[in-house]
């Protein structure tokens, strides 16, 4: 009896060892929970599973090319680049499905495998010199192995192996009063590196290293040169302040004001895989500032467009000291300006993209005349006299309003006489008063123009609107 039981056990073990391990049942179907590239094939025969996978591959190949995307470049990868070895894929399914005979009593594990993908050598892809085409294609094959359509990241070569040159440059004449300080700052910033995928602060990286009290005029001059160079790259402007006027050494919109005490800084971000080296020197009373980096297919430049000249207004002050009819110029007005600054991206001479960087507004300064407060109101009625209100545009006054205003001026002026007789005889006296609620034009804050064209008061800052890309 014992011998018979032992013989039966040996026979059973031999039968188990003779059964091939796999996911196929006796009917030749694939077990449940099996998938290729996310395509469910459980319960199908091997022939049915192959047909289903091939149909999905054919449908995927009809799509648009895969895109390899970098910071400012995109490379198309045709779907014909990928060759799918379905036979090898199903061999891997069989291998993954095998298990030792002594684990026959366990539930089969799910088998999910990607497609086996090769590269078609007959398809040529034009990779930029600074791109690692082989590594980028390997990432694209990983996407194709699951029949996905998402863009793949471009893999760049090491910067040390790439061709580098000056990619941006700014040259500015140095004002006489800041020549010595400019030489100091130029030496400090020379050969400084703007690291890849990081932000650069002019104040933190340069100015505070020299002195926390560096003269703001010199700092702003250096900031203007650096800003002009950065505009010729794809770096993002994070913080920039305008002077509110156009410095003599530059043009509208291409200027930057920096002031440590007022916490005005120039900050920008380098989104690239490569760094920039700042080269700066003073030569022939000019500051030469350039950026040295990897040569790329795209080039950048800036352009100032939509320049609008804003005529100055005319304001009037009144004085009893002037004889009626006198008109004395006090301040010569200066025109203001509006401008838009664009960054142009081009490749092989063709414009690829045009991005608005900022809208700058430089307020005009008014022309100011001194008139006699003894003038009759009807004489003044022909002049464009305005009453200015803080934060609002001036509105023309009619004869009644002019008369009322002069009466107020006279009443206030008469109170300045200590002698009662003179005070009584006073008719029109208010030396050097102005027609603006006693607010001198030079004390007005610079305004910032909004989309509707109205002047808005900007407390302690310059009229400048940054436009994010």
Query: Alpha-carbon distance 30 to 252, whole Å?
Result: 73
Query: Alpha-carbon distance 195 to 86, whole Å?
Result: 45
Geometric angle at alpha carbon 309, from 362 and 240, rounded to 5°: 30
Quick one: pLDDT at residue 426? 59
Query: Alpha-carbon distance 45 to 49, whole Å?
Result: 6
Buried b vs exposed e over 373-405: b needs ≥16 C-beta within 10 Å? bbbebeebeebebbebeeeeebeebeeeebbeb
In the block, residue with structure tokens 């001479």 = 349
Domain boundary assignment for the chain = 11-153, 163-296, 300-469
Query: Alpha-carbon distance 462 to 362, whole Å?
Result: 8
- Burial bucket for residue 61 (CB in 10 Å: 0-12, 13-18, 19+): middle
What predicted TM-score, i.e. pTM, was given to this entire model? 0.67
CATH of domain 300-469: 2.20.230.10
The pLDDT tens digits along the chain (469 residues) read 545 554 554 544 555 444 444 444 434 677 778 899 899 988 888 899 999 999 999 999 999 999 999 877 889 999 999 999 999 998 888 777 666 554 555 566 778 889 999 999 889 898 888 899 999 999 999 999 999 999 999 999 888 778 889 999 999 999 999 998 999 999 999 999 999 999 999 999 999 888 766 789 999 999 999 999 999 999 999 999 999 999 999 999 999 999 988 999 999 999 988 999 999 999 999 999 999 998 888 899 999 999 999 999 888 877 766 777 778 888 888 999 999 999 999 988 889 899 999 999 999 998 888 877 666 666 666 666 655 544 444 556 666 776 676 666 666 656 666 666 666 665 444 333 333 333 333 333 333 333 333 333 223 333 444 444 4
Instruction: Write the CB contacts of 163 (distance below 8 Å, at least 6 apart in sequence).
Output: 129, 294, 295
- Closest Cα partner for 306 from 228, 363, 250, 253? 253
Helix axes 216-230, 179-189, angle to 10 degrees: 50
């Amino acid at each position: 009896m014992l011998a018979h039981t032992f013989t039966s056990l040996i026979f059973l073990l031999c039968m188990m060892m003779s059964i091939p391990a796999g996911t196929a049942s006796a009917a030749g179907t694939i077990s449940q929970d099996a998938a290729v590239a996310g395509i469910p094939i459980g319960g199908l025969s091997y022939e049915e599973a192959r047909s289903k996978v091939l149909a999905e591959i054919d449908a995927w190949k009809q799509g648009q090319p895969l895109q390899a995307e970098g910071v400012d470049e995109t490379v198309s990868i045709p779907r014909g680049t990928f060759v799918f070895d379905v036979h090898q894929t199903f061999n891997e399914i069989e291998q993954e499905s095998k298990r030792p005979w002594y684990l026959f009593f366990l539930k089969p594990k799910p088998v999910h495998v990607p497609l086996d993908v090769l590269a078609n050598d007959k398809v040529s892809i034009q990779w930029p010199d600074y791109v690692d085409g082989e590594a980028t294609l390997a990432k694209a094959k990983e996407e194709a192995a699951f029949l996905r359509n998402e863009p793949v990241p471009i893999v760049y070569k090491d910067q040390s192996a790439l061709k580098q040159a000056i990619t941006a440059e700014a040259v500015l004449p140095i004002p006489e009063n800041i020549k010595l300080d400019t030489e100091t700052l130029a030496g400090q910033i020379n050969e400084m590196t703007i690291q890849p995928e990081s932000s650069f602060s002019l104040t933190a990286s340069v100015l505070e290293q020299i002195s926390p009290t560096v003269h703001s005029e010199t700092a702003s001059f250096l900031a203007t040169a650096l800003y002009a160079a950065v505009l010729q790259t794809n770096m993002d402007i994070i913080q920039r302040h305008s002077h509110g006027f156009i410095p003599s050494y530059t043009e509208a919109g291409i200027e930057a004001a920096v002031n440590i005490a007022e916490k005005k800084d120039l900050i920008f971000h380098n989104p690239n895989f490569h760094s920039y080296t700042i080269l700066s020197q003073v030569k022939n009373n000019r500051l030469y500032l350039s950026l040295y980096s990897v040569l790329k297919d795209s080039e950048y430049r800036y352009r100032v467009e939509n320049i609008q000249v804003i005529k100055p207004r005319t304001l009037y002050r009144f004085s009893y000291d002037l004889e009626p009819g006198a008109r004395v110029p006090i301040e010569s007005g200066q025109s203001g300006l509006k401008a838009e600054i664009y960054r142009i991206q081009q490749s092989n001479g063709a414009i690829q993209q045009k991005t608005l960087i900022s809208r700058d507004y430089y307020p005009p300064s008014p022309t100011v005349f001194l008139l006699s407060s003894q003038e009759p109101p009807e004489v003044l009625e022909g002049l464009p006299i305005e009453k200015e209100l803080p934060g609002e545009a001036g509105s023309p006054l009619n004869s009644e309003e002019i008369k009322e205003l002069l009466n107020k001026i006279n009443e206030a002026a008469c109170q300045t006489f200590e002698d009662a007789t003179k005070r009584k005889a006073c008719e029109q006296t208010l030396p050097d008063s102005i027609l603006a609620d006693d607010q001198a034009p030079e004390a007005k804050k610079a305004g910032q123009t909004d989309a509707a064209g109205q002047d808005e008061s900007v407390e302690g800052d310059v009229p400048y609107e940054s436009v994010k890309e």
